[in-house]
Structure 1
Amino acid sequence: MAALEEEFTLSAVHLAAGPDGLLGVEPSDKADQFLVTDGGRTVILYKVSDQKPLGSWSVKQGQSITVPAVCNFQTGEFIVVHDNKVLRIWNNEDVNLDKVFKATLSAEVYKIHSIQGTEPLVLFKEGAVRGLEALLAEPQQKIEAVISDEEVIKWTKIFMVFKHPVLIFITEKHGTYFAYVQTFNTNTLNKYQLLLEQEKESVIQSFSAYMDWKFISLMSLCADGCIYEALVPLHPSDPGESERVVRSLVLKDVVPCSPRSGPALAILDHNHVAVLGPTAPATKDCLSIWNTKFQTLQTSKELPQGTSGQLWYYGENLFMLHGKFLTVIPYKCEVSSLAGALGKLKHSQESGSYTVPHFVNWETPHLNEDRSQNSEQSKRTLRRRKAETSVQPEASASKQLLSTIKKDSEKHIEVELRKFLATKRTPDFHTVIGDIITALLERCKTESSFYPRNCLIQLIQTHVLSYSLCPGLLAAAIERTDVQILQLCLQHFPDIPESATCACLKIFLSISDDSLQEIDINVESVSDYIDAVHKEKMEQQPEILQNGFTPEEDNCEKCDLDLDEKPQDPREEATSCPVVPKRAALLNAVLHSAYSEAFLLSHLKDIPAQHITLFLHYLYFLYLKCNENATMTLPGIHPPTLNQIMDWICLLLDANFTVVVMIPEAKRLLLNLYKFVKSQICICSELNKIEVSFRELQKLNREKTSQELYSIEVLELF
């Protein structure tokens, strides 16, 4: 699953971008800092987290920057080329580019590549490459022509392979595309012609690439709206022959064939690509993320002010021009799997997490071996069965149990099932369990009085079931309002659909406290932080007021608070849990369930308003309990995490905000949430002030003379 977060403008200043947009966005030697080169005369150094420029440099009037500025990671200096041949080098303290180091080269430069672990490399328009140090030693050295006449460089990228740089650049000549791979450890240059699987050729509008073992995976977005992939080897199989590389289709109809601005392509990881351009049938520009493994559109964001058809990505940030402003859109890409494509994966790596069923990944080498071994073993078993007339004991036991399920009483079935589960598990154990639970559910449908709860609990606790294997189990439990079975299913099934999750949530919120007291529910996830609260609450007299307010009061006038008054102490509110421990344990199972936000929101709108308010109160209580701990976590065995709590608060408000605002009982809760957000903003502001104060102290310490051997300073921060 992939997601695009809220965009923000890196600078409110209009960039003097040329007709083709920006020249480039390149990383600096310091984290979170980037060099932005416009299509005119200016280079700006930005710090993304602060959304502000740290420095700006411009060439003289009449001069034009032709190559994007980069940072030399070995020295921390900045490098840029203007008027195609004039190279400038400066550092952060320089103000005027006209007074910094200057070198006039003998050939026109296409791009300067800079990457951690090696010196900057200069790629000239005729295909030759020089290291920066060798070039500065002799700026007017002769630059040879590598590519042929009328051949033009279209795109280039650099990689580090085994601590050595590898440069790839793509050229075009009369509609034919070539890939050049320059390896510097062996000092060889290899040329490949890019061909399509079919005869027809298409104009390539954007390139992107990543390293894949001994190959460069080169992806291209063509004018026909499709994405193609070619594996370009680092070393050709026959160095003396002209090599050809075939491009195969990866994604079809990603963008319309005739977008207003040229589309852009960026590879985010091995299974996700970002595409800048309209998605059919939309006409406005969009930023979208596609899963190439499952051929699905993961998410998209409309950009109504238009773009320049350029896209850069570093870390987890995407950079682009939106209108006339440089915009940053953070993104997240989860592990590419079928579960991730259909919904959020359950975090099974957390300590104390519930065991989830094992799913076979046939791409894993050792599993392939197991698969072949199991296949051979199956063949031997079949041959042995042909020679023998006896039946395997395991098969006999399962058949006997299935026969018992059809006719015997619940008590007898429970005893026989316990005996069967005590035997040694066979390789097809999960299949046998699926057959057993299917037989139980079939009898439940035909006999309304038959409902073997204890047998179902034993089968769920084998950890081999899933919703897709027995969807009727959850439906039967929902029909009978069996919250114990529902809790176990939510804890053990990783693939419960969002509609079923919301059905469980409705039951957990609507069932009465008296009914819950009679049901055996596992409360280990809440016992460490709710039992003490309820015990203290029961010892208090109902008529005692806490700061003039009792939780039992529901007076609307009491909720009409001024937003500017001092917030109520969170520790006092945290002592009042809105639900009993058993209901809290059930709600925690919902918080841990896997979901996809797009599918869940529509089902959350069907939950009654008073139940939404109750759930929000409980989530707010959990949030306050998290704030009591320095680690921002809850005690206990597998409690909800802070991220889960905040995600569900956002989900409930997104789905029901209009309804919640109109409920008087939710007014105080919304005010408290607002005040907490406001207080967090104040805390961040004060931390920024402290950071500035410490920076000023560091400057003062550097300015001290060596004669001041001893001093005492007192700094008041508040």
Structure 2
Amino acid sequence: MAALYEGYTLCRLAATQNQSNSGILGVEAERDSDHVVVTDSTRSVTLYKVSDQKLLSSWTVKQGQTLTCSAVYNPLTKEYVAVSDSKVIRIWKQEHLLLDQAFKATVSADIWRVHCVAGAEPVVLFKRGAVRLLDSLLSAPQQPIEEVLAQEEAIRWSTNIVTESHQDVIFTTEQKGDHFLYLQRLNPNTLQRYRLEREEPGLSPLSFSASYRDKHIRLLYLYPNGHVYQSVVSERGQVTDEGAQAFQLPRSLLLSLPVGEGLLEAASAQALDEAHVAVVGVPHPSAGSGKDFLCIWNTNFQTLQAGKEMTGKIYGQLWSFWNKLFISHGKTLSVIPFECPKSSLASALGKLRQVKTEESKAPISVPSWNNILHEEKAHPSRTVESRKMRNRKSQSAHSLTHSQVLELIKTAPVEEVQREVDMLLSRTDIQDLQPLLGQLASTLVSRTLQDPVFYTPSSLAQLVHTRCLCHSVCPDLVLLVLEKKDYFMCQLCLQFFPDIPEAVTCACLKAFISMSDIDAEKGILEPDSVNFMETLIARECNPDGLLNGSSLTKAQQDKEMTSPLPEQICPVGLHKAVLLYPASARSL
């Protein structure tokens, strides 16, 4: 199970006039896993020792000059490379006290970025898409630089990747709402150009990241609607001829993240390995609105595995080096260590044995069942009783650990189990809450399967409402609640689980269709779904119900709903229709 550990501040952010800007151009790896180079958006490059949060060296350009891209470290020459005023390349060593003492060379075209990865020579990417090796460029700084991009096409993001046999510069561009991916290979020089599929009108990717695995380059990109896509590009892709139409780049949806109300404005997604993605600036599915989180998601099982709330404004900046995440937020640049063990079904189920760590981890806030409106309406007396019990429990100095609760579930009566599970989920001092959710769900379902008299619907519903579970975490849950004829729980699972297999969905449909309308009316259903279906049926039955943009009066609606229809458009009763609607929608 992936984990986020206790973070710390690396440095304060420089004050900027633009409050939407963090003041940081970039964070780059330096000589080893304990050193990074931070470039601010004004005039300074700073070397830090990460473990000590210690500033080792700092260099600043003169007043009136501006650094225009992130400085990089060349491990082959032990030198730093930066660009000022878009055209002046500066190279210096750590012992230089002033950047004016550094080597300077002025080139003939504006530079977008300088990239450098371990074991490879630095490369220069120009704003119009041309690429040069640094040494080749410095041998003739005023050499002509060709324009690769079309008119009105601008670079939005870039990186550098070294494969087994090549060095590749990867960058994305935007032109009149269309987005393109360029793959420039060096020695020999070849260029591949692809067109990204369009998302909803007006939506542009918020962030990109790229990785190399299995002889393929994998591009990860996040949209404001929370969709995280992956596109895979072969190193041996077809070379683009000058002026030729770009190839369409296929994509696959890895995650559909919760965005709350509206769209994301400042967020970033970073691939950590083949199964884990770090995301910052996206709401936590179990937290209230207005809170920003750093989260790690498992793309194999569509599960949220770790989360940490970040204070202050999020700028959508995220860097990852050596199992550490670097995040700008509020007025600080923070370092968050993380761990991503190999993805497996056992870890997704929360059954993989975890090595305990003394480093404290941020708790994940899970809403109390008392705050879930629909269940309060359905069981008001039980909700009030649970609230009183929790208040009494919170005053007690002794409460059960999660291991004790898991053991208690195996033998204790239903009332005691529901009380202790509710108490456990309402606590704020629980560490590793994400794997605990899977353990609780699996243990509750296992006990119910062994003991038909035992059943805890409110506890299971509370776990499902966290939106941190899925079918693969607890594969017996949907069929269990279907067997219990707990249609409220069936609704919740169909609504919140993104990975219910087709066979299980068909089993739900078959059960709903075969039940009588009388049996369906006896079940407690989610009120909003009932209201929605009432409105939908009313509109189908009376297509002229809207007159001059105004709806019928309440009395007219009641009359229409109760009067006999000459032709019954909906062939089933209201409650049965409520159950069939989400299940049939999933099967389409």
- TM-score, normalised with respect to structure 1: 0.48
Relative to 1, partners in 2 of residues 1:502 and 1:98: Cα closer, same or farther, differing over 3 Å? Answer: farther
* Aligned counterpart, 1:15: 14
- In the TM superposition, what is the alpha-carbon distance from 1:345 to its structure 2 partner? 1.7
CA distance in 1, matches of 2:15, 2:435: 41
CA contact (8 A) 1:23 1:67 kept: yes
Question: Match of 1:148, SS?
Answer: coil
The whole-number CA distance in structure 2 between the counterparts of 1:122 and 1:239 is: 21
Secondary structure at the residue paired with 2:118?
A: coil
Contact 2:8/2:334, CA 8 A, preserved across alignment: yes
The DSSP-based 3-state class of the residue aligned with 2:347 is helix
Separation in 2, partners of 1:76, 1:17: 31
Q: What corresponds to 1:177 in structure 2?
A: 179
Aligned match of 2:273: 269
Taking the aligned partners of 1:5 and 1:86, their CA distance within structure 2 comes to 40
Aligned to 1:205: 206
TM-score using structure 2 length: 0.58
Q: Which residue identity lines up with residue 251 of structure 1 in the other structure?
A: L
- Structure 2 counterparts to residues 88-103 of structure 1, below 5 A: 88-103=90-105
Higher relative contact order (CA 8 A, sep 6+): 2
Q: Is the partner of 1:147 in helix, strand or coil?
A: coil
Change (3 A) 1:10 1:157: same
> After superposition, where does 1:50-449 map in structure 2 within 5 Å?
50-196=52-198, 202-237=203-238, 242-256=246-260, 258=262, 261-279=265-283, 281-346=288-353
Q: Does the C-alpha gap of structure 1 residues 598 and 84 become closer, same or farther in structure 2, counting only changes over 3 Å? A: same
Name the counterpart of 1:430: none
Q: Tell me which residue corresponds to 1:48.
A: 50
Instruction: Determine if contact 2:192/2:238 at 8 Å carries over to the other structure.
Output: no
Local SS of the residue matching 1:127? coil
Alignment partner of 2:348: what SS?
Answer: helix
Residue identity opposite 2:186 in structure 1 = F
The Cα of 1:135 is off from its aligned counterpart by: 1.1
**Aligned partners of 1:498, 1:336: CA distance in 2, in Å?**
27
Distance 2:143 2:209 in 1: 32
CA contact (8 A) 1:226 1:255 kept: no
- 1:639-673 deviation per Cα after TM superposition (whole angstroms, max 9, x unaligned): xxxxxxxxxxxxxxxxxxxxxxxxxxxxxxxxxxx
SS at match of 2:135: helix
The answer for unaligned runs of 5 or more in structure 1 is 349-495, 507-594, 603-718
The alignment partner of 1:10 has SS state of: strand
> Do the aligned partners of residues 4 and 78 (structure 1) sit closer, same or farther apart at CA in structure 2, a change above 3 Å counting?
same
* Aligned counterpart, 1:5: 5
Q: Which amino acid aligns with 1:308?
A: Y
Cα distance, 1:167 vs structure 2: 1.4
Query: Which amino acid counterpart does residue 209 of structure 1 have in structure 2?
Result: A
Q: 1:184 to 1:18 in 2, by over 3 A?
A: farther
Instruction: Tell me the equivalent position of 2:29.
Output: 27
CA distance in 2, matches of 1:179, 1:63: 32
Larger Rg: 1
| Aligned-pair CA distance for 1:283 | 1.5
Change (3 A) 1:261 1:2: same
- CA RMSD, Structure 1 to Structure 2 (Å): 2.8
Cα distance between partner residues in 1 of 2:411 and 2:77: 58
Cα deviation, 1:305-337, whole Å, max 9, x if unaligned, reads 122211111011000112111110111112111
Query: Residue by residue, what CA displacement relative to the aligned partner does 1:274-300 show, whole Å, maximum 9, x if unpaired?
Result: 111131552222111111111111121
Contact 1:2 1:289 in 2 (8 A): yes
Q: Is the contact between residue 348 and residue 435 of structure 2 (CA under 8 Å) also seen in structure 1?
A: no
TM-aligned CA distance change 1:239 to 1:141, over 3 Å = closer
Identity of aligned residues (%): 43
Counterpart of 1:580 in structure 2 is none
Q: Which residue of 2 aligns with 1:434?
A: none
Find the aligned partners of 2:233 and 2:201 in 1 and give their Cα distance.
Answer: 21
In 1: Cα distance, 2:224 partner to 2:177 partner = 12
- The code of the aligned residue for 2:318 comes to L
Runs (4+) off by over 6 Å: 503-506, 599-602
Task: Point out where structure 2 has 5 or more consecutive residues left out of the alignment.
Answer: 356-401, 413-433, 442-588
Contact 1:303 1:322 in 2 (8 A): yes
Residues 258 and 96 (structure 1 numbering): CA distance in 2 closer, same or farther, change over 3 Å? farther
What is residue 715 of structure 1 aligned with on the other side?
A: none
| Number of aligned positions between the proteins | 366
What is the deviation of 1:105? Answer: 1.1
SS at structure 2 position matched to 1:135: helix
Aligned partners of 2:278 and 2:297 also within 8 Å: yes
Shift of the alpha carbon at 1:25? 0.2
Answer yes or no: is the 8 Å Cα contact 2:349–2:439 preserved in 1: no
Deviation at 1:599, TM superposition (A): 6.8
Q: Are the aligned partners of 1:317 and 1:329 in contact in 2 as well (CA < 8 Å)?
A: yes
Q: What amino acid is aligned across from residue 596 of structure 1 in structure 2?
A: P
What CA deviation, in whole Å up to 9, does each residue of 1:367-415 have, x standing for no partner? xxxxxxxxxxxxxxxxxxxxxxxxxxxxxxxxxxxxxxxxxxxxxxxxx
> What is the SS of the residue equivalent to 1:290?
strand
8 Å Cα contact 1:86/1:103 also seen in 2 = yes
Deviations 1:248-279 (A, max 9, x none): 22211343474675111111111111111131
The equivalences for 1:693-712 within 5 A come to none
The DSSP-based 3-state class of the residue aligned with 1:319 is strand
Deviations 1:209-234 (A, max 9, x none): 21132322111111222111111222
More strand by percentage: 2
Q: C-alpha displacement at 1:164, in angstroms? A: 2.2
Shift of the 498–238 alpha-carbon distance from structure 1 to 2, 3 Å rule, reads: farther
**1:59-88 deviation per Cα after TM superposition (whole angstroms, max 9, x unaligned):** 111111111000011101011111111111
Q: Secondary structure at the match of 1:98?
A: helix
Match of 1:310, SS state, is strand
SS in 1 for 2:317: coil
